Each structure stands twice: as C-alpha cells, then as structure tokens.
Amino acid sequence: QKEVEQDPGPLSVPEGAIVSLNCTYSNSAFQYFMWYRQYSRKGPELLMYTYSSGNKEDGRFTAQVDKSSKYISLFIRDSQPSDSATYLCAMTDNTDKLIFGTGTRLQVFP
Amino acid sequence: DTGVSQDPRHKITKRGQNVTFRCDPISEHNRLYWYRQTLGQGPEFLTYFQNEAQLEKSRLLSDRFSAERPKGSFSTLEIQRTEQGDSAMYLCASSLESPRGGQYFGPGTRLTVL
C-alpha cells in the first residue's frame, strides 16, 4: 500500500463547475500538505501549502486538511479550461522529503 | 523572475552512456532537491542538499547516480552507464529552510535511454 493514495482520474467537468480533488494517506506523522499543478511535460507548480489541520483559501482554490481522517482535499471554484492539468498532492513530516500522490488528471471543457 | 532552471530540457542517449544534468535554484534558496518522475506517477525523492552538504539520499539513488552541489549554488546529477529503466523526467526543486515543504520545481530534464 502506498503512503499517499490519489485517484488518477481523469476527471472531466464543464466550465464553471466546482471541482473536488482528494488524497488519503497512512502516515500520521505527516504535518505539511501541499497541492501542485502540473501541465503536460512541465514541472509541478506549487498551488497551496497547509500546515496541520484546517482550511486555507487562495482565490478560487481552497485546501482542506483533516488529520483525524488522514484526508486532504483541494476545491476549485468556477473551474476554467485553463485549469486542465494534473493535480498532485504532496506531504511531509519533519523531513524535507516530499511524498507525492500519483496525481489526478483534470479536464475542464468549455 | 528567476525561478528554478534546468539544463538540458531533453536528453536522448544510448544505453551505457553517461549523462549529466544541471540545476540552478532560486538564488536565495539554500535547499536543493532532486526528484524523478515516470509517466503516470508522482515525483519520487532522490536526494537533497542544504548549501553544499548532501543531507539525504533515497534508496532509489543507486551507485550509478551521483549528485553534487560544490559551492552551494547550482547542482549536477550524473547517471553513469545509463539503463533503459533510467528513462524519466528528472526534476529539481529548491526551497528556503522554512516553511518546510514549500518546494519550487524547475521544468525538468526528460531523459530517454535507447
């Protein structure tokens, strides 16, 4: 079993929809949680960073962490075709080694 | 904006050859990381440096792999005697010491071993 599980998708939604992306993890020591966006053949781009449990909002993006359930989410409001990409969750404990999910491919169609 | 840069962006080589990749981090970042990503997977940690010191190496980093950061600025990753299984995207990232986990990635070097 992988330390971080993420549904690979693809997830296909119409423009304007609310998108929910999720990851589960098994290591209770994880405290720092990130979401990255990766366009095809590009490097990952840091979108959201959260420490411990709680919510964080940045524009159309909201990250949620529920440590009791070992579950993290990223919500995208008013999704746009330009949001079409692969979304990677990543997390770490007290080290600097990020553990990534496999990524969820999102397609937003006009 | 000077983000993380990597060179070359693409490398095609024959099995058994040696290859070297370069990474230039964001200038004020003292931490530098190497990851490897294969198709349909998330990046996997290989190694990281704080300044010029290599602090951790993954079990994925076999004896054929070596990384250096001689002056605490740019870094090189060398793969000796390449194998077809080394074909992947090699990603470099950099960060400050805090906040932990806030790593910024470069565009990657795509390696194809024939």
What does the pLDDT average to over A20-27?
Answer: 96
Q: Does A45 touch chain B (CB under 8 A)?
A: yes
Q: What is the mean pLDDT of chain A?
A: 94
pLDDT digits (tens, 9 = 90+) for B10-54: 999 999 999 999 999 999 899 999 999 999 999 999 999 999 999
Query: What's the pLDDT score for residue A41?
Result: 87
Instruction: Indicate yes or no: CB of B101 within 8 angstroms of CB of A98.
Output: yes
Measure CB to CB from residue B42 to each of A33, A95, A101 and give the nearest one.
A101
pLDDT at residue B2 tops 90: no
Query: What's the pLDDT score for residue B97?
Result: 79
pLDDT digits (tens, 9 = 90+) for A43-81: 999 999 998 888 999 999 999 999 999 999 999 999 999
Question: pLDDT-based confidence at B83, cuts 50/70/90?
Answer: very high
Separation of alpha carbons B57 and B13, rounded Å: 25
Query: What's the pLDDT score for residue B1?
Result: 56
pLDDT at residue B101 tops 70: no
Q: In degrees rounded to 5, what are phi and psi of residue B85?
A: -70, -10
Instruction: Indicate yes or no: CB of B108 within 8 angstroms of CB of A34.
Output: no
pLDDT at residue B73 tops 80: yes
The number of C-beta contacts closer than 8 angstroms across A and B is 73
Instruction: Indicate yes or no: CB of A43 within 8 angstroms of CB of B91.
Output: yes
What does the pLDDT average to over B45-73?
Answer: 91
Which residues of A fall within a CB distance of 8 Å from B95?
96
DSSP assignment of chain B equals ----EEE-SEEEE-TT--EEEEEE--TT--EEEEEEE-TTS--EEEEEEETTEEEEE-TTS-TTEEEE-TTSS-EEEEESS--GGG-EEEEEEEE-SSSTT--EE---EEEEE-
Question: pLDDT-based confidence at B79, cuts 50/70/90?
Answer: very high
Measure CB to CB from residue B103 to each of A33, A51, A98 and give the nearest one.
A98
Question: pLDDT-based confidence at B113, cuts 50/70/90?
Answer: very high
Q: Does A74 touch chain B (CB under 8 A)?
A: no
Which residues of B fall within a CB distance of 8 Å from A46?
102-105
